[in-house]
Amino acid sequence: MARRRTSPRTRDRERGAALVEFAFVGPILMALLFGIIEFSWIFNQVLDVRHGSREAARLIAVNYQPGTAVGTAQTNAIIDEICSRVDEPSEVRVTIVLDAAGADNPGDLATVRVERNLQQLTGFFDVFLSNVQPSGETTFLLEQHATWSPDVGERACS
């Protein structure tokens, strides 16, 4: 069978066609690739704050006491410990709330909320993600009488 010969001019036109096709498909592929990377990064941040809220709930439920701190000093020590257990603690805010006033006895409910500002890698999807803030909230039962102070409210990690 005879092989069809192509002239150099025809080959150049075919290369040009491939370049035009890539110009159409390339941005879509890049957006898809960056979207996957950005979504994975955001998902990691969401998992981090959820894990942080569960860790915080456990520390608060067992009345974590580093040293002999009580009251506001103990609450600040608990929040400092929570901050040490999450990634990028400078962006994290922790809120500890008793579900009922004066309910600081074993079996009473409390809630801890850990949230952070969203950090993006690429910034391509800033329009869609400008109002997203990863957060985790855990409600739990106190296992011991609470000696920490619920009056601290929301505090950012330092």
Q: What is the pLDDT of residues 22-32, one digit of tens each?
A: 899 999 999 99
Half-sphere exposure of 30 (CA within 13 A, CB side): 8
Note the pTM of the prediction, 2 decimals.
Answer: 0.76
DSSP reduced 3-state for 4? coil
Identify the band that residue 11 occupies on the pLDDT scale cut at 50, 70 and 90. Answer: low
Amino acid letter for position 60:
I
Identify the band that residue 12 occupies on the pLDDT scale cut at 50, 70 and 90. Answer: low
Q: Supply the pLDDT for residue 10.
A: 64
Question: What's the whole-number mean pLDDT along residues 54-61?
Answer: 92
**Residue 92 to residue 51: CA distance in whole angstroms:** 13
**Residue 120 pLDDT more than 90?**
no
Element spanning 127, H or E: helix 126-129
**Residue 16 pLDDT more than 80?**
no
Express each pLDDT in 61-74 by its tens digit: 998 887 777 888 88
Domain boundaries in the chain? 8-156
**Residue 39 to residue 139: CA distance in whole angstroms:** 27
Half-sphere exposure of 36 (CA within 13 A, CB side): 5
**Residue 151 to residue 77: CA distance in whole angstroms:** 14
**Residue 143 to residue 156: CA distance in whole angstroms:** 26
Identify the band that residue 148 occupies on the pLDDT scale cut at 50, 70 and 90. Answer: confident
Q: Supply the pLDDT for residue 32.
A: 92
